Amino acid sequence: MNLKNTKAGFLLSAEHEKLPIAELNALIDIFSLEGNLNCFKNYVILESSISEEIIKKMVKRGGYTNEGHVIFSESPIINQNVDETLENFFKSSETLDFPVERDETFAVRVLKLEKESPFNSMEIERKLGGIIKKKTSAQVSLKNPSKTVKVVISNDKMYTGIVIEKRDVEYFQNNRPHLRAYFHPGCIMPKLARCLVNLSRVKEGEIVLDPFCGTGGFLIEAGFLGCKLIGSDIDEQMVNGALLNLNTYDLSKQVISIKQNDAKNVSKYLEDLKIEKIDGIVTDPPYGISTSKKGDMLEIFEKIVDVLKDNDYLVFAAPNKMELDLNLVEFYEMRVHKSLTRYIHVYRKN
């Protein structure tokens, strides 16, 4: 397929109203992409020159990106008329070169973005499947297809694409905090941790700092993304637990240093490592520190930000809004339970 000036489609998680699209925008920055975004609830179309490989990387890297598609055709919904629309859709589909080889198997799946959509998914899947089979001589396999053709129906268009990558659901299920080698209550779930790391815009090979690393949740996710890791915690037991968890995931090679340290002394910590500045900070300060003395927390953050490179990002969660002397570029609320709401801050150092 020629992917020059293509449209890529991304099916996002509906777990949070704003975080999935925020993370996708961060991924677009990370991979230095340009283009227009069209959002339809939890489905986003990126009009950009983008390769299949980058689509795969974006989905694999994302916490809230469920699927990535290459869109190779779109058809209008005509006057909200189902019969006329489908007649036009199937007629145009007969002229398409579907990216399915003769020796491959395929399935057609329909995604309706509007619950009240009048279109019959099974009818579309059956008829389009027949067209593809006739054109390519490939066989249908509903259980384990080598290619999945996706038809996404919005309120005004039908998009036809091929699924390039799906999020690894098992990873986020099997690596929940209570299943790790070392566990402590209050940990952020890996999907959210991955999202916050992405919001920091750190790239593979860059250095991530978590000065309140706890059991290592953010460092684990950053490590899986190929980042170099620096962490600290005032509690030595947490430090040992974080090191154990990282070693369990075979991420020790990513670690520059994780040791017991007061976050106020982060500059000296990096100086001892002969590192002047780092590329991103992602952290979740202990609940008690964040709520007891807000002034103390602000002072700690001022010291932490000193080690961040200009134009790079500090991302953190807190139980209240923290006003720092930086550019607050993003801010999100996430209700955890009745008595706790996490406020996610994305600051950029100018």
pLDDT tens string 27-36: 999 999 999 9
User: What per-residue confidence (pLDDT) applies to 3?
Assistant: 46
Rounded distance, CA 346 to CA 331, Å? 6
Question: Which phi and psi (to 5°) does residue 273 adopt?
Answer: -85, 0
User: What per-residue confidence (pLDDT) applies to 286?
Assistant: 86
Count the residues in the chain: 350
- DSSP per position, 225-265: TT-EEEEEES-HHHHHHHHHHHHHTT-GGGEEEEEE--GGG
**Predicted confidence band at 336 (pLDDT cuts at 50, 70, 90)?**
confident
pLDDT tens string 147-202: 999 999 999 999 999 999 999 999 999 999 999 999 999 899 999 999 999 999 99
Rounded distance, CA 171 to CA 180, Å? 12
In the chain the domains, ranked by start, together with CATH numbers, are 7-166 (3.30.2130.30), 170-348 (3.40.50.150)
5 vs 254: which has the higher pLDDT? 254
User: What per-residue confidence (pLDDT) applies to 295?
Assistant: 63
**Predicted confidence band at 293 (pLDDT cuts at 50, 70, 90)?**
low
Strands of 219-339, DSSP E: 228-233, 255-260, 278-283, 308-318, 327-337
Q: What percent of the chain has pLDDT over 90?
A: 89
pLDDT tens string 223-235: 999 999 999 999 9
Rounded distance, CA 159 to CA 162, Å? 10
Closest by CA position to 259, among listed 278, 277, 246: 246
| pLDDT reading at 2 higher than 50 | no
294 touches 318 (CB < 8 A): no
Rounded distance, CA 97 to CA 190, Å? 40
| pLDDT reading at 287 higher than 90 | no
- Measured between alpha carbons, how far is residue 56 from residues 14, 46, 245, 301 in Å? 20, 14, 27, 35
User: What per-residue confidence (pLDDT) applies to 281?
Assistant: 99
User: What per-residue confidence (pLDDT) applies to 63?
Assistant: 98
| pLDDT reading at 278 higher than 70 | yes
| pLDDT reading at 246 higher than 50 | yes
Mean pLDDT throughout 253-266?
Answer: 97
Give the type of residue at 2. N
Angle in degrees, CA 164, 165, 167, rounded to 5: 160
Mean pLDDT throughout 63-69?
Answer: 98
| pLDDT reading at 132 higher than 90 | yes
pLDDT tens string 93-117: 999 999 999 999 999 999 999 989 9
| pLDDT reading at 42 higher than 80 | yes
User: What per-residue confidence (pLDDT) applies to 339?
Assistant: 79
Rounded distance, CA 197 to CA 314, Å? 10
User: Rounded to two decimals, what is the model's pTM?
Assistant: 0.94
pLDDT tens string 297-323: 889 999 999 999 999 999 999 988 999
Q: What is the DSSP letter of 1?
A: -
Closest by CA position to 286, among listed 259, 264, 317, 258: 317
